[in-house]
Amino acid sequence: MSKDSNIRRLPSLVLMLAAAWSLTACNYGTQTEQMVSALRGAYSAFNRGDYDAAVQSLDPNVEWSEPAEFPGGGTYRGPNAVKQYLMHSRAAWAQITSEPEQFIRADNRIVVFVHARFRAKGSSEWQDSRLADVYLFRDSKVIQMRAFANRQEALRWARVAAADR
């Protein structure tokens, strides 16, 4: 093949590379949408007390870590253990909601900024907390979740660059 024919093929190679990048970007976007959708569903299920649905997107070997300062804080392995933790954590309150405010993707992790509202039993006063949960995905399943009381700590742990926010 002559040098001229290689140069003439250059635009088609550029187009093929651009198409491949576009498909990869679309796939990345679709994966992100699916992961975010699964997480939205899990938070919604937790809020309505449907624990089976809340753990549906978890891998059978999931590792779930809550800070020691959280009620029942610790590390739980497997969807059943996570389900028991969620049930126990909710039982401590008269009412509790965890509303996702923002989803930030960093490679195969999604950081979720969460607005938690809770009311103690026998109280009419609501308390608010803004937290972060970081989910690590593999094959569209959550293989790890780590909760943080401090959102900036969560971003650092997930290696989220300022440009990603």
CATH code at 130? 3.10.450.50
- Whole domain around residue 78: which residue ranges? 3-164
Per-residue pLDDT tens for 38-84?
A: 999 999 999 999 999 999 999 999 999 999 888 788 999 999 999 99
Contact 150, 132 (CB under 8 A): yes
d(CA 155, CA 160): 5
Count of the separate structural domains present in the chain: 1
Mean pLDDT of the residues in the chain: 83
Rg value, the chain, Cα: 21
- Contacting residues for 157 by C-beta, under 8 A, at least 6 apart: 134, 146, 148
- Residue 30 is predicted with a pLDDT of 76
